[in-house]
């Protein structure tokens, strides 16, 4: 068989396999619809999105994969398959800190896929409002960045909100310099969000030391503004360059190449246990000597791994602090339940913000 014949034969086989894949996807979708109807019959308020089930599917397929199809491609591929399947049962509406092409938008897309309906809002409070008022099923907000630290406003919103943390997304943050200009030498001004400017400060000082920087409400707004100014540039995500028709002049200009932002998924409902969960707790301790030590000791004695602790002023009483704690495990686990029962009497108040699947 000649090379030309081999190519033609393989292309025919690919066409045949694509036809089979399409048939199988439709069969899969029928089962998803059946499950959705059964869920709604049993509980009309039940959520269609089940992150634990999705994680189990991807983990199983990744382990079973023998190649040459890459494992890294399984997650995004099945994310879109499951997103499209869920849309057949009802639109999944997600509020996020907008506008489109922000890193929060990218994180939401990575979690819920292209087939969901996305609602951009102007602030973190507005994300909470959209979910609380039932105009969105889920909300996505930033909570902390590996370079710049915690997003305090998000933490503060949990004090009075009844929403639960339903999931988390770890999103790599890669900043790109983009413009209508053809070279860096033409740039006279750089727009971006304050955090993005801070995360690229060394690069800017080295390569554009005499160029003015201007803060914008988001990286996407920066891209939108410089699309109208031929000698201006923006620091934003690649998605923003595609959205606003900009040319990427320099890729990955962040000072720390290991730059990640953690996002939280908000919902009115709790997430079911998956076996690989995280629990977030908000609490306030009595103002006395050794109070923090007394709080932390039960976590250690019960063998619970505390992955994060953050403090914030309570805003209700001078020198009173609220602690936000993340631990490994689900709130229904015996160890977590026992620990919470032990520390509760020592707290002025304690609130479980949610148990949810750990990002993998």
Tens digits of pLDDT across the chain (360 residues):
788 889 989 999 999 999 999 999 999 999 888 888 887 788 777 776 777 788 888 889 999 999 899 998 998 898 899 888 888 877 789 999 989 999 999 999 989 999 999 999 999 999 999 999 999 999 999 998 877 777 888 988 998 899 999 999 999 989 999 999 999 999 999 999 998 999 999 999 999 999 999 999 899 999 999 999 999 999 999 999 999 999 999 999 999 888 899 999 999 998 888 889 999 999 988 777 777 788 889 999 999 999 999 888 766 665 577 889 999 999 999 999 999 999 998 888 899 999 999 886
Rounded (to 5) percent helix, strand, coil in the chain: 45, 25, 30
Whether 263 is catalytic: yes
SS (H, E, C) 166-216: EEEEEEECCCEEEECCCCHHHCCEEEECHHHHHHCHHHHHHHCCCCEEEEC
**Residue of 104, 154, 219, 261 marked catalytic:** 261
Q: Would you call 356 helix, strand, or coil by DSSP?
A: strand
- Supply the pLDDT for residue 316: 62
Burial class (CB in 10 A: 0-12, 13-18, 19+), 209: exposed
pTM of this prediction exceeds 0.85 = no
Q: What is the DSSP letter of 246?
A: -
Is 128 assigned a catalytic role?
no
Measured CA to CA, the distance from residue 325 to residue 309 in angstroms comes to: 4
As a whole number of angstroms, the distance between CA 105 and CA 52 comes to: 22
Across-strand partners of 165?
A: 266
Q: What residue spans define the domains of the chain?
A: 3-88, 92-173+260-267, 176-250, 277-357
CA gap 76, 278 in Å, rounded: 23
Topology at the third CATH level for domain 3-88: Chorismate Mutase Domain, subunit A (1.20.59)
In the prediction, which pLDDT does 346 show? Answer: 84
Rounded CA-CA distance 112/124 in Å is 19
For residue 220, give both structure tokens: 């996407």
* Fold that domain 92-173+260-267 belongs to in CATH: D-Maltodextrin-Binding Protein; domain 2 (3.40.190)
From the candidates 263, 299, 323, 324, give the one annotated as an active-site residue. 263
**Superfamily for domain range 176-250:** Periplasmic binding protein-like II (3.40.190.10)
92-173+260-267 and 176-250 share one fold? yes
The CATH homologous superfamily for domain 277-357 is: ACT domain (3.30.70.260)
């Amino acid at each position: 068989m000649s090379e030309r014949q081999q190519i033609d034969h393989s292309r025919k086989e690919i066409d045949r396999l694509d036809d089979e894949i399409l048939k199988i996807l439709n069969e899969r979708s029928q089962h998803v619809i059946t499950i959705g109807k059964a869920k709604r019959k049993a509980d009309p308020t039940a959520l269609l999105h089940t992150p634990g089930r999705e994680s189990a599917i991807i983990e199983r397929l990744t382990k079973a994969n023998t190649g040459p199809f890459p494992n890294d491609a399984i997650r995004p591929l099945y994310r879109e398959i499951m997103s499209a399947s869920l849309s057949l049962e009802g639109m999944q509406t997600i509020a996020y800190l907008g506008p489109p092409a922000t890193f929060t938008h990218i994180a939401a897309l990575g979690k819920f896929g292209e087939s969901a309906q996305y609602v951009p809002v102007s602030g973190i409070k507005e994300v909470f409002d959209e979910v609380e008022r039932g105009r969105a099923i889920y909300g996505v907000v930033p909570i902390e960045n590996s370079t710049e630290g915690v997003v305090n406003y998000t933490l503060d919103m949990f004090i009075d909100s009844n929403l639960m943390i339903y999931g988390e997304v770890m999103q790599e943050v890669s900043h790109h310099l983009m413009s209508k200009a053809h070279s860096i030498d033409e740039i006279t001004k750089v727009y971006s969000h304050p955090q993005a400017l801070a995360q690229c400060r060394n690069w800017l000082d080295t390569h554009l030391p005499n160029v003015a920087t201007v803060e914008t409400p988001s990286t996407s707004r920066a891209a939108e503004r410089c699309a109208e100014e031929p000698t201006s540039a923006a620091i934003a995500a690649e998605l923003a360059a595609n959205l606003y028709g900009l040319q990427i002049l320099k890729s990955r200009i962040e000072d720390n190449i290991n730059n990640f932002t953690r996002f939280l998924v908000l919902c009115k409902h709790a997430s079911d246990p998956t076996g690989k969960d995280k629990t977030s707790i908000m609490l306030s301790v009595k103002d006395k000597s050794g109070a923090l030590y007394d709080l932390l000791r039960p976590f250690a004695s019960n063998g619970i791994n505390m992955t994060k602790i953050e403090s914030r002023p309570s805003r209700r009483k001078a020198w009173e602090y609220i602690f936000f704690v993340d631990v490994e495990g689900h709130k229904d686990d015996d160890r977590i339940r026992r620990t919470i029962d032990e520390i509760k009497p020592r707290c002025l108040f304690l609130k479980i913000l949610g148990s949810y699947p750990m990002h993998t």
